[in-house]
């Protein structure tokens, strides 16, 4: 067996171990490489930045634990920017696990401590509503007819933030972060097509290409492209967190992937040349 034949079929255990190392090593010794901000995240940032104080944002926590490592940091950065700008945030969840992601995110934001925000006045979480697009249409249609309690069962009547929010006409921006294609498309259908609202969306990087056409046509004003978008937002908002830490890990692990691709191609090419002719 020639060296090329060996290289064209490395055992999976070796590949897996190298991948594991490429994640652990940079996690232990971060490099702190500079970042370049992508246009899609810049637009997300600018859209929120352009909102006047006290504008109302409807924020959908549309992911669960499967998406948390990738989307949680971006969600935290997005909240930092919104609280920093004194926006009123109405939070909901179209994902089953959204109500369990909410405390994890809020632990990272700490709106009371960092921004003096008051629950019920500056932000509120109305919890999980089943039905995905039906839930979106319900909240945008007549919020008070649908929702009576917040996620812990406290009545929402008497919460100042919701006094002036009855539906789509009172909401200035819809922002969502999700792992689901149905949710990513659903907000474009229900908020943009139905009410011509401004919408920004965050998704896993693997979904970005599929929702990119909405961004090109202005149906989405910005996209947070997975962990990269999250790192961009952390950088733009000046709140470095888990996503920026991850970019060093990405450097190592993706370089390893590139090496694998090179080895795979060269060895394949060499063995084919030797074998077939």
Partner 1 sequence: MDYKRDIPLAITFLVGVIAIGDYYTGIQAVTDTFNIIKNWGIVLQGFALGLGAVNLFRVHGKRISARKEGTDWIFSVVLLVMLAVHVVIGLITGQYEQGETYNWLYNSIYLPISSTMYSSLAFYMAYGAYKVLRARNFDAALLFITAVLVIIGNTPMFPAIYPGFFHMREWIFGPIVSGAYRGVRIGIGIGAVVLGIKTLIGMETGYLGRR
Partner 2 sequence: MLINNKVKYFIVIHFTYKYSYSEGKTMAILTEGRIVPLVALILVWVAVYIAINMGKEGKIKVRRIAGLDAIEEVVGRSVEMGRPVFDIIGMGTFTDSYATQTVAGLSILNYVAGLSARLGAELVAPQASVDVMPVAIELVRDAYSVEGKLEELNVDEQLPYLSGTQFAWASGILGMAARRKPAGNIMIGPFWAESMMFAETFDRIGAMQVGGTARTYQIPFFAALCDYCLIGEEIFAAGAYVSGDPSQIGTIASQDWYKLAAIALSIVGALLSTVGVNIIAELLAW
Partner 3 sequence: MVTMDPQIWLAAFFTIAATSYAFRDNAVFKFAEYTFIGVAAAHQIVMGVKNIRDYGWTKIMEGQIIYVVVFVLGIMLYARFHRDYYWMYRFPIAFLVGNGVGISIRAAIHSDFIVQVSETARTPLIAGDAMGTINAIITFVGAVTAIFHFIFTQEKLHVGAVGWIPKIGRWMMLLAFGASFGNTVMSRFGMYQGRVVFLLREWLQVI
Our finding on whether 35 is near partner 3 (CB under 8 A) is no
Q: Are strands 173-178 and 199-203 parallel, antiparallel or unpaired?
A: parallel
Query: Which residues in the 130-169 window bind partner 2 by CB under 8 A?
Result: 169
Query: Which residues in the 236-265 window bind partner 1 by CB under 8 A?
Result: 247-248, 250-251, 253-258, 260-261, 263-265
Which residues contact residue 195 at a Cβ distance below 8 angstroms, ignoring those fewer than 6 apart? 140, 168, 169
Considering only the stretches 37-45, 78-86, 117-125, 250-258, report the one whose residues sit in contact with partner 2 under the rule CB under 8 A: 37-45
Phi then psi for residue 200, to 5 deg, are -125, 145
28 binds, among partner 1, partner 2, partner 3, none (CB under 5 to 8 A by kind): partner 3
Contact 62, 93 (CB under 8 A): yes
* E-only strand ranges, the chain: 56-62, 88-93, 123-128, 173-178, 199-203, 222-225
Q: Which CB atom, from 80 or from 228, has the smaller least distance to partner 1? A: 228
d(C-alpha 185, C-alpha 47), whole Å: 19
Burial class (CB in 10 A: 0-12, 13-18, 19+), 265: exposed
Burial class (CB in 10 A: 0-12, 13-18, 19+), 203: buried
88 binds, among partner 1, partner 3, partner 2, none (CB under 5 to 8 A by kind): none
C-beta of 70: minimal distance to partner 1 in Å?
8
221 binds, among partner 3, partner 1, partner 2, none (CB under 5 to 8 A by kind): partner 2
Distance of CA 178 to the CA centre of its chain: 6
> Among 73, 70, 134, 63, which Cα is nearest to 93's?
63
Our finding on whether 229 is near partner 1 (CB under 8 A) is no
Contact 77, 243 (CB under 8 A): yes
Using CB under 8 A, pick the residue from 114, 182, 255, 258 that binds partner 2: 182
Considering only the stretches 50-58, 160-168, 180-188, 232-240, report the one whose residues sit in contact with partner 3 under the rule CB under 8 A: 180-188
Query: Which residues in the 203-262 window bind partner 3 by CB under 8 A?
Result: 204-206, 208-210, 213-214, 216-217, 219, 225-228, 242, 245-246, 249-250, 253-254, 257
From first CA to last CA, the distance across the chain in angstroms is: 17
C-beta of 86: minimal distance to partner 1 in Å?
28
* Residues at the site binding partner 1, with contacts judged by CB under 8 A: 10, 12, 15-16, 19, 33-36, 38-40, 64-70, 96, 99-100, 103, 129-131, 134-135, 137-138, 141-142, 145-146, 151-152, 194, 208-210, 212-213, 216, 228, 247-248, 250-251, 253-258, 260-261, 263-265, 268
């Amino acid at each position: 067996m020639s060296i090329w034949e060996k290289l064209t079929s490395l055992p999976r255990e070796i590949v897996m171990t190298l991948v594991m190392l490429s994640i652990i090593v940079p996690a232990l010794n971060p490099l702190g490489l500079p970042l370049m901000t992508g246009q899609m995240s810049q637009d997300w940032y600018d859209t929120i930045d352009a909102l006047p104080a006290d504008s109302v944002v409807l924020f959908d926590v549309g992911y669960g634990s499967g998406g948390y490592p990738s989307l949680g940091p971006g969600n935290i950065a997005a909240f930092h920017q919104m609280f920093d700008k004194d926006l009123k945030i109405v939070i909901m969840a179209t994902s089953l696990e959204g109500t369990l992601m909410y405390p994890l995110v809020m632990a990272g934001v700490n709106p009371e401590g960092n921004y003096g925000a008051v629950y019920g006045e500056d932000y509120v979480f109305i919890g999980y509503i089943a039905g995905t697009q039906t839930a979106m249409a319900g909240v945008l249609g007549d919020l008070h007819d649908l929702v009576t309690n917040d996620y812990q069962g406290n009545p929402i009547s008497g919460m100042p933030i919701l006094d002036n929010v009855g539906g789509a006409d009172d909401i200035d921006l819809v922002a969502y972060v999700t792992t689901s294609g149905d949710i990513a498309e659903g907000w474009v259908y229900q908020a943009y097509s139905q009410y011509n609202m401004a919408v920004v969306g965050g998704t896993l990087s693997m979904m970005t290409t599929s929702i990119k056409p909405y961004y090109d046509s202005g149906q989405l004003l910005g996209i947070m492209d997975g962990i990269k978008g999250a790192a961009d937002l952390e950088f733009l908002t000046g709140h470095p967190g888990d996503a920026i830490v991850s970019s060093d890990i990405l450097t190592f692990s993706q370089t390893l992937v590139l090496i694998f691709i090179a080895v795979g191609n060269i060895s394949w090419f060499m063995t084919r040349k030797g074998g077939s002719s």
